[in-house]
Amino acid sequence: MKGNARLAKVVVSPYFSQRVTRSSAASASHTADTTIVKREKPKPEQPEVVSAAKSRKLSEAPSQRKHVSIKYEDNATRTELECDNGEADIMPGSVDLMNNQWEAPNWREHLMNISEMRKKRDAPVDLMGCDKLQDDQAEPEVRRYHVLVSLMLSSQTKDQVTAAAMGKLRAHGLEVPNILRTADKKLGELIYPVGFWKKKVVYIKETTKILRDAYNCDIPPTVKELVKLPGVGPKMAHIIMDVAWGQLTGIGVDTHVHRICNRLQWVPKPTKNPEDTRKAVEAWLPRDKWREMNILMVGFGQQTCLPIGPRCNDCLNQTICPHSKTATKGHKPQKKAKTT
């Protein structure tokens, strides 16, 4: 271009960069400025360099992924982690990551095997439990009273002894007014030799008086009221609510259930008493398994998982029971006494 110097128009493109140069002043034939537009290939994007501090900040930022708790048909709870791409990673294990809920490993197999070993239902608890000792022909409130008294007698007592005592009581007349008319000495003779029979005479008399005065000769309809009765604890209360009232309020945990749950490690850490065991197991065991727990585990404890000398070799859970690994180990042979 000739004539007065002028700036060339530069067309800006989003895809190309421009470079403008001016013509040399020493050019003899041209006095005007010259604009040259040169198109260059786009440079590839370079990855962003993240400093260590920024990296730590990003790693500490809260995750945007949502935790969704899903339940399966067997009521087992697992955690589904929703990924960015819409897919889900199911994280199996003994802990619900969303609710921080612990559950015992292999508990389904344990329960299935125990049910198989107990299918004959021929343990003492099956034949002489509290549900078998009531008079089915009596009035509802009398039957409920029978359930209550049989459980009070069963504490620290074998089922056979409890059944014999209940037979004598029923023959004598096991009703609230009649028991209140019965002398303590006579009542003791009727229930002997149940464990702590002298204390139980006092408990039965005191409890029966409360039933007459506060419940019109019936029994309390709630766990809260039942445990206020003399000689009645949480285990008895939950079983009474199930057998007498037909309401599931909790697991009846006695010494058998307490022992077996600790041996199978159905508790996050060893428990010292049945009530702690009940709370620990109820925290994770599906509610539809609660009702069968007492009679299933008690019978298993009476026949196989004995307090002393458990029959681990006859147990279907031998290979998956933590206790059997130590119980079945051979004893070290005793050293021979030195002879002089």
Q: Report the catalytic residues.
A: 235
* DSSP secondary structure code for residue 222 in this structure: S
Distant-in-sequence contacts of 60-67, Cβ < 8 A, 24+ apart = 67/97, 67/98
> Which residues, listed in sequence order, are joined to residue 67 by a DSSP beta bridge?
81
Q: What is the CB neighbour count within 10 angstroms for residue 189? A: 14
State how far the Cα of 139 lies from the Cα of 218, in Å rounded to an integer: 10
State how far the Cα of 249 lies from the Cα of 251, in Å rounded to an integer: 7
Whether 279 and 269 have beta carbons less than 8 Å apart is answered as: no
Whether 262 and 277 have beta carbons less than 8 Å apart is answered as: yes
Measured CA distances, 276 to 250, 261, 262 (Å): 13, 11, 11
Q: Which residues contact 152 (CB under 8 A, 6 or more apart)?
A: 200, 203, 204, 207, 231, 232, 236
Q: Which residues contact 19 (CB under 8 A, 6 or more apart)?
A: 36, 37, 38, 40
Whether 240 and 148 have beta carbons less than 8 Å apart is answered as: yes
